[in-house]
Structure 1
Amino acid sequence: MINTIIFDFGDVLINTDKATTIQTLKKLGLKEWNTDLSKLTERFEKGKITEAKFLSGFQKHIPNASLDDIRSAWRKFIADFPLKRLEFLQNISNNYRLFILSNADMIHVDEFEYQAGSSFFGDFYRCFEKVYYSFEIGKRTPDSEAFSYVINKHDLSPKRTLFVDDKLENIEAAKALGLKVWHLKVGEEDVTELFSKKIIRV
């Protein structure tokens, strides 16, 4: 029986808006997303580079944009956080061990906390035994070491742990380590349907 749930953050709990982010960056002069930007983003998500180095690295691809312009565009990735999802987490937090494991960078986390306000994000964080953002632990999914870090840190049983994510590569990595999984389909499913869809049977 499942006694632990590990949630991804973006598009599982909080909504994101990648399209607006890309549109805004293109208005600033970005021609297309490329491998260099993907590598830069991964390093930033792992906390391997500072915010300043991340933004200046981005600026090389859009030299006419200021660092503030780039930061502002990057913050647009964070959208709304439906209240029903917070209430859902609060309702199940007494019956399950809850964790977050997310490839989040510091700009996105700061934007979430700014938009949500201290009362909301305080209530949110209290639902979890521990929140793991990749930039804080230096590991990101789908690397197995990210999952193992949480499992070993809290002595979790993979077969009694459910991992919820919207990205197939992360789901497959978790499944390979023996975790139960729910590949949530964004726009078609909502995390609040966890029990009505019988992902977890009670």
Structure 2
Amino acid sequence: MDIRSYKNIIFDLGGVIIDIDPGKAVDAFAKHVYKTQSPDGRQLYNKIVNGTLLMDYEKGLIDDEQFRSALNDRLDTALTNEEFDRAFNALLLDYTRERLNLLKSLKENHKIYLLSNTCHIHFVHYNQLLRDKYGYEDLSELFDRMFLSFEMGMRKPDTRIFNKLIQETAIVPKESVFIDDSLQNVEAAQSVGLGGIHKPQEVDLTTIFK
């Protein structure tokens, strides 16, 4: 089925609309953690990205201050909020004008939605980037509605988050498609009746609409 034939298109954010590289955040934190020893990138990656701490934060179970405090403790650092956020946001790279123009074009004839595993610190940063560099007030200008994990209390691939979106938008699943860089998330969307497209990070979003 041609992607443009779907009435409703649901987008992931990181790795789809904005480029990401979690390794950049690991490197940024490493400058504070490993001042007197060689960095252990895998160990640091596991402390920052893996486990329940980041997941809890992305589900809104803990707030910004609790997350900063817990990760500072885990890393044995005492970063200021500014230092912490700069390191944590390093994984967020950039949008492209072409992707943003694609969203604007699609919105003329489709309902388009954002469904993202994200957190408040990142939310502030990527909206600020969009405002400063591309002239949009925030991401809500580009979508009919946004569904953000930290506001919903759940995250992909939990099928409840897809069912919540379906319920609140009243979309027909078979008329809708979900695009994500995570195959696990795409399979979860398909399990509740949505179309699914896995877009690897190395494939630009614009190419799948050509």
TM over 0.5: yes
From 37, 46, 50, the counterpart of 1:34: 46
2:53 matches 1:49: no
What is the Cα deviation at residue 34 of structure 1? 3.3
Q: 1:179 — aligned with what? A: 194
Compute the displacement of 1:175 (Å). Answer: 1.1
What displacement does 1:124 show? 4.4
Aligned structure 1 segments of 4 or more residues deviating by more than 4 angstroms? none
Q: Does the C-alpha gap of structure 1 residues 103 and 121 become closer, same or farther in structure 2, counting only changes over 3 Å?
A: farther
Quick one: distance in 1 between partners of 2:155 and 2:175?
A: 22
State the superposition RMSD in angstroms: 1.9
Q: Is residue 127 from structure 1 mapped to residue 131 from structure 2 by the alignment?
A: no
Structure 2: tracts of 5 or more residues without a match: 35-39
Contact 1:6 1:100 in 2 (8 A): yes
Report the Cα distance in structure 2 between the residues aligned to 1:2 and 1:23, rounded to whole angstroms. 40
Query: Which of 93, 107, 124 in structure 2 is aligned with 1:110?
Result: 124
Q: Is the 8 A contact 1:59 1:67 kept in 2?
A: no
2:130–2:139 contact (8 Å) kept in structure 1: no
Moved more, 44-53 or 61-70: 61-70
What pairs with 1:1-202 in structure 2 (closer than 5 Å)? 1-29=5-33, 31=40, 32=43, 33-34=45-46, 38-68=51-81, 69-117=83-131, 120-122=135-137, 124-187=139-202, 189-196=203-210
Sequence identity (%): 29
Any stretches of 5+ residues in structure 1 without a counterpart? 197-202
Whole-angstrom CA distance in 2 between matches of 1:19 and 1:94: 36
The count of aligned residue pairs is 195
> In structure 1, how many angstroms separate the alpha carbons of the residues matched to 2:178 and 2:127?
24
State the alpha-carbon separation in 2 of the partners of residues 35 and 26 from structure 1.
Answer: 11
Name the CA distance, whole Å, in 1 between partners of 2:85 and 2:47: 20
- Taking structure 1 as the reference length, the TM-score comes to 0.89
Residue deviations 1:111-140 (CA, integer Å, cap 9, x gap): 112222266333742231101111111121
Q: Which amino acid aligns with 1:133?
A: L
Letter matched to residue 175 of structure 2: R
> Are the counterparts in 2 of residues 55 and 67 from structure 1 also a CA contact under 8 Å?
no
Contact 1:77 1:108 in 2 (8 A): no
TM-score by length of 2: 0.86
Cα deviation, residue 157, structure 1: 1.0
Which structure dedicates a bigger proportion of its chain to helix? Answer: 2
What do residues 140-177 of structure 1 show as CA deviations (whole Å, max 9, x unaligned)?
11000100010000111111110000001101101111
Verify the 8 A CA contact 1:29 1:65 in the aligned structure 2.
no
1:16 positional shift: 1.2
Q: Is contact 1:144–1:174 with CA below 8 Å preserved after alignment?
A: yes
